[in-house]
């Protein structure tokens, strides 16, 4: 009886998402940024990204120890609110129309808004099979492209 009461109290209000904040994929890959003003290209290898479930239809991207240009310090950034639509074994990822304000720690950085985010996450039908992630977005005058495989 007490357990039912606790569950009823918790179930009121916000929707309970059983897999919220669960890591759905960890990837290692190549990040390439291209300046939209002068075409200069920066490439970094061994870049780690991860995706976690935020709600039934959205995910949060974590970019671990990442930098988009050589002079940028390596930071761990998060981009929340990415729509995830499953089609067969592919997850189609899209950012909201107004863009995503990234966070570093608990601090939001609206100056570095992420726009035009699109991507695809491929999940193997095999439980132990490899997966892949590809993402493209714009950030502060740069086109950012990432391709990674599960680690």
Give the domain extent around 112: 18-150
Confidence band (pLDDT; 50, 70, 90) for 24?
confident
Residue 137 has pLDDT above 80, yes or no: yes
d(CA 134, CA 150): 11
The predicted pLDDT at position 134 comes to 97
Dihedral sign computed on CA atoms, order 78, 82, 85, 90: negative
36 located within any domain: yes
Q: What is the CATH number of the domain that holds 101?
A: 2.40.160
**pLDDT tens per residue across span 33-89:** 999 999 999 999 999 999 999 998 999 999 999 999 999 999 999 999 999 998 876
What confidence tier does 97 reach under pLDDT thresholds 50, 70, 90? very high
Q: Which residue has the higher pLDDT, 126 or 87?
A: 87
Residue 8, in any domain of the structure: no
**Interatomic CA distance for residues 34 and 42, integer angstroms:** 7
- 77 vs 129, more confident: 77
Q: Residue 2 domain-assigned?
A: no
Q: 57 in a domain, yes or no?
A: yes
Task: Give the list of residues 6+ apart from residue 137 with CB closer than 8 angstroms, or none.
Answer: 95, 114, 115, 116, 117, 118, 143, 144
* Residue 66 falls inside a structural domain: yes
Report if residue 33 sits inside a domain: yes
Determine, yes or no, domain membership for 3. no
- Counting the structural domains of the chain, the total is 1
Burial class (CB in 10 A: 0-12, 13-18, 19+), 51: buried
Is residue 13 in some structural domain? no
Answer with the residue of higher pLDDT: 146 or 3: 146
């Amino acid at each position: 009886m007490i357990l039912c009461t606790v569950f009823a109290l918790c179930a009121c209000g916000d929707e309970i998402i059983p897999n919220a904040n669960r890591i759905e994929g960890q990837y290692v890959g190549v990040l390439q940024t291209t300046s939209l003003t002068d075409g200069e290209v920066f490439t970094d290898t061994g870049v780690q990204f991860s995706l976690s479930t935020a709600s039934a239809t959205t995910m949060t991207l974590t970019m671990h120890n990442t930098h988009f240009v050589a002079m940028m310090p390596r930071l761990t950034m998060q981009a929340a609110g990415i729509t995830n639509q499953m089609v067969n074994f592919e997850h189609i990822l899209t950012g909201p129309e107004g863009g995503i304000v990234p966070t570093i720690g608990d601090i939001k950085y609206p100056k570095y808004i992420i726009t035009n985010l699109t991507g695809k996450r491929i999940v193997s039908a095999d439980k132990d099979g490899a997966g892949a992630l590809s993402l493209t977005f714009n950030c502060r005058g740069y086109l950012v492209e990432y391709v990674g495989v599960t680690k």
